[in-house]
Structure 1
Amino acid sequence: MPRHRTRRSALSGLVAAVVVLLAGSAAGGVYLVGHSPDDASSAAAAVSSASSPSATTGPSEESEVDLDAELADALAPLADGADVSVAVLDTESGASAAYGDGTYDAASIVKVDMLAALLLQAQDEDRELNGAERAYAEAMIRRSDNTSATELLKVIGGEEGLDAANVRLGLTGTKAAHAWGLTQTTSADQVRLLEAVSGADSVLSEASRAYLTELMGQVEADQRWGVSAAGTDAVLKNGWMPRTTTGLWDVNSIGRVRSGGHTVLVAVLSRGHATQEAGIGPVETVAKAAVAVTDAAGGSG
């Protein structure tokens, strides 16, 4: 993703506020989960208050800064507590930021990619999805059903079919695996996938985009954590998976939210958590930090 710059006056207070939020999440290695709706609004209010430019701000504080660097500063308190990568894009202002460029296990977020591949194939054949394909797709996205995902991977031609679709979708850092949860991907690629799902400039047709978005807006209530903490009207897919080699968990979340009057795409990938529940708090905190950075940039003019 391109590096973006904005005015420091709009972001200097923001970084301090997010550092406080992150430090609170990471203190002692304990992460809190099951936040009430008031938690997200309180955090947003704190960031909004802290990021308001001071009336006494001088010209020396108006230098332009790199949003990637601002995001890195905001996430620094988690550096020793989690292995995480995040990418964010404000689709209206164009502000974007990224932290971490490594590859991660996709876990169940790959199911969005798999459905996109199926929809591309159906478009190529000028047909609608059949009943079985729709059943697999809906169970796979709404309930994160693994058996349906395995069957649908066969339909699209296995990992070779998924890799071929990803070339068309512009995913340059994603490599499919036969054991689909082990597909390797990057947060930047996941934002590109979200752009394909959400934007008009896409190889996916309007009907395909609408179908994918509909399903991602209907995931079961107990799976609506993650990037949903960063805004409203969330359309998302989460992934979580224990690694047999380490016993530690991958916890990922990708999706679209509304924040600051804008539509924002967010992808958070993480690994090395003791449990799934232990990973949810950091993922949500990182998502909120990333969206706060682009909110400040979009509002700074």
Structure 2
Amino acid sequence: MADEARVSVAVLDLGSGETVTHGGGVFVTASVVKVDILAALLLGAQDAGRELTARERSYATAMIGRSDNDAASALWAGIGRAAGLDAANARFGLTETAGGDGTLWGLTRTTAADRLALLRQVFGTDSALGADARRYVRGLMERVVPEQAWGVPSAAEGATAWAVKNGWLPRDATGLWVVNSIGYVTVGGRACLVSALSDGNATMERGVALVEGAVRHALVSLDGKRADAEARAVRGRPRPV
């Protein structure tokens, strides 16, 4: 089958606010929606003034740490499926994400820009989530099983810190793969949020390569924008006389 892959990537430098985007369009989330599910669960618990139960914490650890689908399905039901997800995401400022039908949380649709908006709720400070909730999500994303630490952390060469959630899904209708990666990296002292979404990949391996290549290219472009901004600032300074 011919490879019909497409990819969309967005990167945000948390310090400078500089962004780089390549590609666009709406994509199926696959398992990256698990971050939304956990964020929605935590927001609901926060509203109710309660902590997560031991069972919810067990499900959350499995869902993020090893991408357990049964745990995700249990929490998806707990938040009220798509209606609960969409209501939480509206409060998080997401405008281009729609929950999957019925039990099909993996068919939630989103954009790279909306993935950055969600990551800002987790890794930023201007968030509907409290500090403890944000720290909890970050901690789980920092401890995914080694075999799932591809994508964002692998593409960011020399990263000194990272957090990630990946998603991969073969589509029944086409046999082609959805491969996505979202997360946080610190490279060269710069903290960045990264979202890369792809579909139409002939194999999962080709999707991983496509996503990682897109992330590398975006990070290089971000370095270029930063260098240009610094050069403009230097040119704008008064010269000594």
TM-score of the two chains, using structure 2 as the length reference: 0.90
SS at structure 2 position matched to 1:272: strand
Letter in 2 for 1:220: V
Deviation at 1:152, TM superposition (A): 0.3
Q: Confirm whether residue 222 of structure 1 aligns to residue 147 of structure 2.
A: yes
| Aligned position for 1:48 | none
Task: Say if 2:162 is the partner of 1:237.
Answer: no
Note the alpha carbon deviations across 1:101-151, whole angstroms, 9 max, x for none: 211000000000100000000100111100111011000000000000000
| Superposition CA RMSD, Å | 1.3
Equivalent residue for 1:283, pick from 211, 217, 232 = 211
Name the aligned partner's letter for residue 44 of structure 2: Q
Aligned to 1:192: 117
Hey, what's the Cα distance between the residues in 1 that align with 2:5 and 2:177? 11
On the 8 A contact 1:237/1:255 being kept in 2, the answer is yes
Q: What is the deviation of 1:94?
A: 1.2
Find the counterpart in structure 2 of residue 99 from structure 1.
22
Moved over 2 A (4+): none
What is the one-letter code of the residue matched to 1:230?
A
Give the structure with the higher percent helix.
1
1:263 is the counterpart of 2:186: no
In the alignment, which residue of structure 2 is the partner of 1:211?
136
For residues 215 and 148 of structure 2, the distance between their equivalents in structure 1, rounded to whole angstroms, comes to 16
Give the structure 1 partner of residue 59 of structure 2: 136
Q: Tell me if 1:159 matches 2:82.
A: yes
Q: TM-score, normalised by structure 1?
A: 0.72
- Picking from 159, 172, 178, the partner of 1:250 is 178
2:201 counterpart SS class: coil
Question: Structure 2: which amino acid aligns with 1:210?
Answer: R
Match of 2:49 among 126, 141, 155: 126
1:221-279, Cα deviation, whole Å (9 max, x unpaired) = 00000011224111010000000000010000000001232101110000111111121
* Cα offset, 1:91, TM superposition: 0.6
Q: CA deviation at 1:81?
A: 6.5
- The correspondence of residues 70-85 of structure 1 with structure 2, limited to 5 A, is 82-85=5-8
Give yes or no for contact 2:30–2:167 (8 Å, CA) kept in 1: yes
Residue deviations 1:54-75 (CA, integer Å, cap 9, x gap)? xxxxxxxxxxxxxxxxxxxxxx
> Structure 2: any 5+ residue segments left out of the alignment?
231-241
Q: Which amino acid aligns with 1:261?
A: G
* Paired letter, 1:184: R
After TM superposition, give the deviation of residue 296 of structure 1 in Å.
2.2
Question: Matches of residues 15-30 of structure 1 in structure 2 within 5 Å?
Answer: none
SS of 1:254's equivalent in the other structure is strand
Pair 1:293-2:221 in alignment: yes
